[in-house]
Amino acid sequence: MSKPVVAIVGRPNVGKSTLFNALAGDKISIVKDTPGVTRDRIYADVTWLDKEFTMIDTGGIEPDSSDIILSQMREQAQIAIDTADVIIFITDVHQGLVDSDAKVADMLRRSGKPVVLVVNKVDSVQKYMMDVYEFYNLGIGEPFAISAANRQGLGDMLDEVTKYFPEDTGEDEDSDIPKIAIVGKPNVGKSSLVNKLLGEDRVIVSDIAGTTRDAVDTKVTWNGKEYIFIDTAGLRRKAKVKEEIERFSVIRTVTAVERADLVVVMIDASEGVTEQDAKIAGIAHEKGKGVIIAVNKWDAIEKNDKTIYKHTNRIREVLSFMPYAEIVFISAKTGLRISRMFETLDAVIENQTMRIQTGVLNEILAEAVAMQQPPSDKGKRLKIFYMTQVAVKPPTFVIFVNDKELMHFSYTRYLENKIRDAFDFGGTPLRFIVRERG
Ligand code: GDP
Ligand code: GDP
């Protein structure tokens, strides 16, 4: 089950970033070698008691553009309505109720999405409680008084937020069908690919109305197997929001990737792989999803016997943080190698859910350790007792050692490579958890 999405909406300076940082804490998912996706803190993974969710900050309003604040707020609110399961609408007790708050509150109420109204900067409850009551006038329910700066009131607020999360009933009848998100910068050919799939007569298509989100997913049958393409309604829509603001496309990508098992990252062959592609691919990497790089518009470029090799090298270089990603060269326009793409999807699905027996794993471990000694520090050497796989999607391994501090990043990498040499984990990241055995 994918994690619920919570969006924070509010005027500039009410404390959105402060709240965001207070909730995300050090949990903000910055994977060291992933390019700058999360450094601008658009999203973060949050855990509250036994609940997990992805939080997005729809912010990004320039404080000096006061004349257009309302229109930007509407835009933000629309992003939240489109992508979130629950919306936190945050206001500021010092500034009091302002007109744009009322307008945005109306918009949120009409959307029917669960909204939690939060009044921030209530650093002293006694002093401000009367002012907080005023926010009842927004007509979107009880205001939750918090102080984001002092981390007060966050527990009650989060209890309210998580109350609206969809129940995991385990009754999702499509849960066994792989969910695929097609992502990529504007104009790489995402809609063309979906349209091609819809046009193919080997493909049977049906729309599934999203249960918790308004997104419409498309079920596609290819060679007798079913696949769900996420949020393809947005891709199929004729009048696409042009010049989508960067933040919006990141949010869209994050929420689509969150719901997906597999991510197809589309790259434009005629432009080659770019830093923007790396940012987008980085989201899939951080979320631990299966990844296929689809180099599109292969029909449109001049080729010789070195072209594939050159593209592959360049992609491996720019996307060096995900050497496991599979690469396919396709044309959404002509249909070139789209079957190959589906074959690769099938292979990656299998790899993501593969379980390796502990015995076999430890044979590999023993051999690896014999070939290259584990690191040591100040006369103490790392001892690795054993390793076991604890999860799939992505395959996750726990390594039991004598001293965690001694487990160097490069040695984990070395073990990962040994495991990859022995098994076909192509297309899926692997996770490693190092634990000390008492
Ligand atoms: P954003 O523009 O909505 O992201 O707002 P920021 O998070 O940047 O906060 C704007 C200002 O309000 C900053 O100076 C914060 O330090 C301040 N602020 C945020 N939360 C609180 C709070 O709970 N109490 C007080 N007194 N100030 C706060
Ligand atoms: P999106 O913004 O990622 O959804 O991209 P579109 O599907 O709208 O495609 C952008 C442009 O690239 C359109 O003009 C398409 O006709 C063109 N295009 C898409 N796929 C291909 C392809 O495989 N080959 C060629 N030559 N053009 C393509």
- Going through 121-215 in order, the beta strands assigned E by DSSP cover 144-145, 179-183, 204-209
Task: Report the nearest atom of ligand 1 relative to the CA of 61.
Answer: 2
- Note the pLDDT of residue 355: 94
Question: What pLDDT, in 10s, does the model give residues 190-234?
Answer: 988 988 887 765 455 555 543 333 446 788 889 899 999 986 555
Protein residue with its CA nearest to atom 19 in ligand 2: 189
Cα 316 from Cα 310, distance rounded (Å): 10
> Which tokens go with 154?
């966050």
What gap in Å lies between CA 408 and CA 197, rounded to an integer?
Answer: 45
**27 CA to middle of ligand 1, Å?**
20
Distances in Å between the Cα of 28 and the Cα atoms of 51, 68, 161, 346, 412 are: 16, 30, 19, 32, 22
Which atom of ligand 2 is nearest the CA belonging to 240? Answer: 2
Compute the distance from residue 168 Cα to the ligand 1 centre, in Å.
35
Q: Could you report the per-residue pLDDT of 292-336, keeping only the tens digit for each?
A: 999 999 999 999 999 999 999 999 999 999 999 999 999 999 999
Q: Which long-range contacts (CB under 8 A, 24 or more apart) does 111-114 make?
A: 111/81, 113/80, 113/81, 113/84, 113/85, 113/86, 113/87, 114/85, 114/86, 114/87, 114/164
- Compute the distance from residue 283 Cα to the ligand 1 centre, in Å: 28
In a mutational test of the pocket of ligand 2, which residue from 187, 197, 249, 338 has the highest number of ligand atoms less than 8 Å from its CB?
187
pLDDT given for residue 37 in this prediction: 42
**Atom number, ligand 1, closest to the C-alpha of residue 123:** 24
Find the 186 Cα to ligand 2 centroid distance in Å: 9
Q: Name residues of the chain where pLDDT drops below 50.
A: 27-39, 202, 209-215, 236-244
The pLDDT value given to residue 362 = 94
Count of beta carbons in the 10 Å neighbourhood of residue 125: 12
Tell me what pLDDT residue 232 has. Answer: 59
Q: Which atom of ligand 2 is nearest to the CA of 266?
A: 3
d(Cα 1, Cα 266) in Å, to the nearest integer? Answer: 25
Please tell me the distance between residue 187's alpha carbon and the centre of ligand 1 in angstroms: 38
Strands 179-183 and 225-229, by their bridges, are parallel
Token pair 């690769």 is found at 344
Q: Which residues line ligand 2 (CB under 6 A)?
A: 184, 186-192, 235, 296-297, 299-300, 331-333
For residue 336, which atom of ligand 2 is closest to its CA?
Answer: 23
Report which bound ligand comes closest to the CA of 92: 1
Ligand 1 binding site (Cβ under 6 Å of any ligand atom): 10, 12-18, 59, 120-121, 123, 147-150
pLDDT score at 56: 85
Look at ligand 2, atom 27, and give the residue with the nearest C-alpha: 297
The Cα 232–Cα 191 span in angstroms is 8
